[in-house]
Amino acid sequence: MGTRSAVLNTEARTVEADVLSRRCVMMRLMDFSYEQYQKALRQSAGAVVIILPQSMSSVPQDVIRQFMETEPEMLAMETIVPVYFAEEDEELLSIYEQTQAASASQGSASAAEVLLHTATANGFQMVTSGAQSKAISDWQITSVEGRLAGLGGDDLPTIVIVAHYDSFGVAPWLSHGADSNGSGVAVLLELARLFSRLYTYKRTHAGYNLLFFASGGGKFNYQGTKRWLEDNLDHTDSSLLQDNVAFVLCLDTLGRGNGLVLHVSKPPKEGTLQHAFLKELELVAASQFPEVRFSMVHKKINLAEDLLAWEHERFAIRRLPAFTVSHLESHRDGPRNSIMDVRSAAGARVDSRVLTRNTRIVVEALTRVIYNLTEKGVPADLQVFTEQMQIQQEQMESVMEWLTSQPRAAQLVDKDGTFISTLEYYMSRYLKDVKQHHVKADKRDPEFVFYDQLKQVMNAYRVKPAIFDLLLALCIAAYLGVAYIAVQHFGLLYKLVQRLSLKSKQQ
């Protein structure tokens, strides 16, 4: 992150050094603080390298939480200093420790000690090569949709189930998005599997169309969803979104916590299907999972802000009834946009049991609405999905493993890459009419711009400081000077040596 001109050729220092100007400042995540980061920027550092541990499971929760709180400020701050993130290994740790020792020695009390250490210590020159980052003009954001047709006619109500798959963080190549929004995609795929089995048999084939949409560009103001709505509502005459949409259910951050929150832009009215779904969520949570705190949060859409808060707001703007289910109470919570949102991070870990529980709550409530089970007198504590229809926790864990094994930042997910093809294949196993939708930024007035050069190789060269070369030159000059004087006055020197040797013999 930082400047687009990320070419580097500067000497390494740690933040303990007094002078950081035009230096490559190295700091470990365990010792990172926003104040130290700002100190490096204020002193016009040549670059900042933040070293991350290979496994986040060893990092204390308070360190994870502190960095999550810092990330939005780092992203919001404009700076010309390039900021790199690197995963720790033995060689990098050795470089850091040697650099830290050299930086700390500058605070010694004796000027002679500082001079001696400066002259003899090893330093490291951090060098990167590569062209300046350029805008990618033809990059496409890809979304995938599939459907299950209802039974009973052409004008059936449609329930839309949506989850954005992309991740976001201060470093795109480290953005794995476990909870946000790998968990939402995992729930969407499990719902597709379960309802495909129900829709296979005529006895359980419901009178609702189910439309599943895995959207791209969610972290960029839901650009994939926006274009998908435009294509279906403005540029075609035949679309399930134009006919009879019962409601849109958006899935976001469902892998942690002891609560579930239904985020709405407008409270559902009694007698509507969306109100029935709200009541069923309350009913299922209270009767089957009393430890889960369920609540509804009403937030009006603020069109004055640059970014929408939740994905359902994209649908609400087009007057489609929509809401988002999440364990987060606010869209500003750190885990939604953090490189710390990985499966192994302490305090940010996706709990497969919680993910399975939340999936059950959502699918049970949705099933009770679709099949009108409450009106038919089916008890609220009766679980529909049991035995062969059981939610498969192991399969959801495998899906999460696949999702989090790769960075899913929007600027890294290629339309022809393995991620999109695998997602499309998975959805094709359970859904019909699976197809891709693509979004390309407008060349005249782009709503998003992606850049290349997001990953670079940094080389560390062991070097002596400049003062070492100066002292070495002085020593060589002194040696040559003595040799020159000895040659020019060889006769005097010879007589002096002869006199001294005779004197020693006489004694």
Q: Output the CA torsion 143→149→153→156 (10° steps).
A: -50
Which pLDDT belongs to residue 503?
Answer: 75
Q: What is the pLDDT confidence band of residue 228, given thresholds at 50, 70 and 90?
A: very high
Chain segment 390-406, per-residue pLDDT in tens: 999 999 999 999 999 99
Which pLDDT belongs to residue 395?
Answer: 94
Which pLDDT belongs to residue 312?
Answer: 97
Among the listed ranges 73-87, 370-384, 459-473, which one has the minimum average pLDDT value?
A: 459-473
Specify whether the CB–CB gap between 203 and 289 falls below 8 A: no
DSSP 450-504: EES-----EEEEEE--HHHHHHHHHHHHHHHHHHHHHHHTHHHHHHHHHHHHHHH
Q: What pTM, to 2 d.p., does this model score?
A: 0.88
Which pLDDT belongs to residue 297?
Answer: 96
Residue 473 has pLDDT above 60, yes or no: yes
Q: What is the pLDDT confidence band of residue 501, given thresholds at 50, 70 and 90?
A: confident
User: Which DSSP symbol is given to 153?
Assistant: -
User: Over the chain, what is the mean pLDDT?
Assistant: 89
Helix (H) or strand (E) holding 101: helix 90-104
Residue 170 has pLDDT above 70, yes or no: yes
- Chain-centre distance for alpha carbon 317: 27
Residue 428 Cα distances to 144, 210, 389, 431, angstroms: 10, 14, 19, 5
Query: How far from each other are the two terminal CA atoms of the chain, in whole angstroms?
Result: 80
Residue 354 has pLDDT above 60, yes or no: yes
What residues are paired with 10 via a beta bridge?
126
User: Which DSSP symbol is given to 267?
Assistant: P
Specify whether the CB–CB gap between 240 and 168 falls below 8 A: no
Which pLDDT belongs to residue 361?
Answer: 96
Percent of the chain with pLDDT over 90: 58
The amino acid sitting at 390 is Q
Percent of the chain with pLDDT over 70: 93
32-48 average pLDDT score: 91
58-64 average pLDDT score: 87
Residue 107 has pLDDT above 60, yes or no: no
* Structure tokens, 63: 């360190």
Chain segment 11-39, per-residue pLDDT in tens: 899 988 888 888 999 999 988 989 999 99
285-312 average pLDDT score: 94
Residue 82 has pLDDT above 80, yes or no: yes
* Structure tokens, 235: 């540029």
Listed residue (266, 279, 383, 379) closest to 323, CA to CA: 266
Listed residue (463, 350, 334) closest to 401, CA to CA: 350
Q: What is the pLDDT confidence band of residue 416, given thresholds at 50, 70 and 90?
A: very high
Which pLDDT belongs to residue 106?
Answer: 56
